[in-house]
Chains A and B, each alone.
Chain A
Amino acid sequence: MPMHETLILVVGLTAVLTTASLVAGILSWRAPKPLSSTLVNLNQRINAWWVMVVAITVAFFFGRSGMTILFALISFAALREFVTLTHSRRSDHWVLLGMFGIIIPFQYWLVWTAWYGLFTIFIPVYCFLLMPAITALHGDTERFLERVSAQQWAVMISVYCVSHVPALLTLEVPGFEGRNLLLIAFLIITVQGSDVLQYIFGKLFGRHLMSPKVSPSKTWEGLVGGLATSSLLGALLSFLTPFSPLQAAGVAFMACLMGFLGGLVASAIKRDQGVKDWGHLIEGHGGMMDRADSLVFAAPVFFHTVRYFWT
């Protein structure tokens, strides 16, 4: 555990969240009562951020085991939300059970043992071929392609993509031994920070909706402002990584752009299914997928960028 950087991170995050709580507290104190729904939601979101930061910090101190277990649980919550929203039939019972009972544990066991070869192909090759085979063996062909596609996407998004976050711990970057946890911190802080920054820039300067059919809150101003500032944030955090400040800005830019696309795709799925949030796990934010959608798209691309250029 790199103590020096960890200390800086804990102090830094505490300072940011304390500031956020103070600002929201003053806003709520001065606002007319009862509080507007925006302010109530802001307070809930900040409180939930405290909980999430504490949870990740605790997992951080337990190293690889802590991170693997934490993200396996995140996969569980995300997969549960995904499957709840999609169409399934009684004959899908065993496939659905296998997704929770076999695929999640096995994929994270592969992360834990750093078995890279099987980690990358277990879901896209073996699961994607065997799951529809099991469904076909059950003989229920009604809306077959739709059910099979939804199951595959659910596993792809909630398990495969998410598992790339703890998998960062298995990369062997020369001269960076024992410090891989910081890569996770870098990824989460820039991508989640970008979400917050896009939200703030959108609220302050948002004029031009990017895709009104998909999301009423995503604006060009929010995207540009959020990406620019989170790339800057990435450069500032380059001391956590094996990257130079310029490289860190570039990697952060790419991860945050992927994160934005993840949020867009998640919105499209929710719109298609006629819901506003994925679930209700995190007060003020919605479900796990509402919070993790950007990380889901950013993690695999970040993982492979680091793996290709730095190992």
Chain B
Amino acid sequence: MSKLGTRTFTLLQTVTSVGLSALAWAVTGVRPIWNGSKPSDRQRIYFANHASHGDFILLSACLSEKERARTHAVAAADYWGKSRLRRFIAQDMLSSVLIHRQWIDEAQNPISIMLSVLDEGHSLIIFPEGTRNMTDEPLLPFRSGLYNLSMARPDVELIPCWIENMSRVLPKGQFVPVPLLCRVVFGAPIAIAPGEERRAFLDRARKALLALNPRPLKDD
């Protein structure tokens, strides 16, 4: 199990983070579009569509250096923990939080792991679809994590982030990116309404994310 501890960046993590952001810019010319929210010091959960390993790199490249240093992507332990190399990339280089999608042991409960990271004052990047979307649908149904996290920590802002084009830059199963222009659209924060049901909230969050897609008809 990953031990959390203090999550200040090691030298390797800082170098990786600066290097990947520069690479993301060189390949995709990525730029943030703040459409309903602004960069801020408030603790946040950024939730985004997911189709590529590059997604979180692109999203973090859009954050300020300070925000990037305290923002951690949540990744699947059953994928990123599979080999020593993957674990090294995910944890020692990218400082991501590994969670188990199928868990039995209470110590592996993903919600408690994510909450403990939030309680250390960090922000999170999560992909509520739970997996990389390989279908023709623009966005899969959301899993419940977003709702559970927000119920437990209502003060943390939930920011929808639409990542454009990344699935074309680095599709599943490919390791060399094609240079295409990408944007990340940050939307207005969303919160659970009083008495709102789990499913209703998740659907609303999903629709809020979908609505950020700047080119809905052209998305293939």
Complexed CA–CA distance, A280 and B215 (Å) = 16
Is B181 at the interface (CB under 8 A from chain A)?
Answer: yes
Given A83-B180, A97-B176, A279-B29: A274 and B218 interface contact (C-beta under 8 Å) = yes
Complexed CA–CA distance, A96 and B177 (Å) = 10
Q: Interface residue count for B (Cβ, 8 Å)?
A: 15
Taking a contact as CB atoms closer than 8 A, the residue among A81, A83, A274, A280 that contacts B178 in the complex is A83
For window 152-191 of chain A, which residues contact chain B by CB distance below 8 Å?
A: none
Chain B neighbourhood of A81, CB < 8 A: 181
* Inter-chain contact A100/B178, CB cutoff 8 Å: yes
8 smallest CB-CB distances across A and B, nearest first, come from: A84-B181, A96-B178, A84-B180, A90-B171, A80-B179, A93-B174, A97-B178, A279-B181
Is B168 at the interface (CB under 8 A from chain A)?
Answer: yes
* Inter-chain contact A100/B220, CB cutoff 8 Å: no
Chain B min CB distance to A279 (Å): 6
Chain A neighbourhood of B176, CB < 8 A: 97
Complexed CA–CA distance, A241 and B178 (Å) = 40
* Inter-chain contact B220/A93, CB cutoff 8 Å: no
Chain B neighbourhood of A84, CB < 8 A: 165, 180-181
Complexed CA–CA distance, A301 and B96 (Å) = 54
Taking a contact as CB atoms closer than 8 A, the residue among A79, A97, A281 that contacts B29 in the complex is A281
* Inter-chain contact A80/B180, CB cutoff 8 Å: yes
* Inter-chain contact A80/B181, CB cutoff 8 Å: yes
Complexed CA–CA distance, A281 and B168 (Å) = 20
Is A149 at the interface (CB under 8 A from chain B)?
Answer: no
Chain A min CB distance to B177 (Å): 9
Chain B min CB distance to A310 (Å): 37
Chain B contact residues: helix, strand, loop or mixed: loop
Chain A min CB distance to B219 (Å): 10
Chain A neighbourhood of B180, CB < 8 A: 80, 83-84
Q: Which residues of chain B have a CB within 8 Å of any CB of chain A?
A: 29, 31, 165, 168, 171, 174, 176, 178-181, 215, 217-218, 220
Query: Considering only CB atoms, which chain A residue lies closest to B176 in the complex?
Result: A97
A79-B179, A83-B180, A274-B218 are known contacts; what are 18 more A-B pairs with Cβ within 8 Å?
A: A76-B179, A80-B180, A80-B181, A83-B178, A84-B165, A84-B181, A87-B218, A87-B220, A88-B168, A90-B168, A90-B171, A93-B171, A93-B174, A96-B178, A273-B218, A274-B217, A280-B31, A281-B29
Chain A min CB distance to B214 (Å): 10
Chain A neighbourhood of B178, CB < 8 A: 83, 93, 96-97, 100
- Against B, the Cβ 8 Å flags (1 = close, 0 = not) of A99-114 are 0100000000000000
Is A89 at the interface (CB under 8 A from chain B)?
Answer: yes
Complexed CA–CA distance, A88 and B220 (Å) = 8
* Inter-chain contact A80/B174, CB cutoff 8 Å: no
Chain B min CB distance to A81 (Å): 6
Chain B neighbourhood of A280, CB < 8 A: 29, 31, 181
Complexed CA–CA distance, A280 and B168 (Å) = 19
* Inter-chain contact A100/B215, CB cutoff 8 Å: no
For window 93-146 of chain A, which residues contact chain B by CB distance below 8 Å?
A: 93, 96-97, 100
Chain A min CB distance to B133 (Å): 12
* Inter-chain contact A80/B29, CB cutoff 8 Å: yes
Chain B neighbourhood of A279, CB < 8 A: 29, 181
Complexed CA–CA distance, A81 and B183 (Å) = 13
Complexed CA–CA distance, A88 and B165 (Å) = 11
Chain B neighbourhood of A76, CB < 8 A: 179
Chain B neighbourhood of A100, CB < 8 A: 178-179
* Inter-chain contact B215/A274, CB cutoff 8 Å: yes
Chain A neighbourhood of B174, CB < 8 A: 93
Complexed CA–CA distance, A84 and B218 (Å) = 11
Query: Considering only CB atoms, which chain B residue lies closest to A88 in the complex?
Result: B168
Complexed CA–CA distance, A281 and B179 (Å) = 14
Chain A min CB distance to B164 (Å): 9
Chain A min CB distance to B179 (Å): 5
Chain A neighbourhood of B217, CB < 8 A: 274
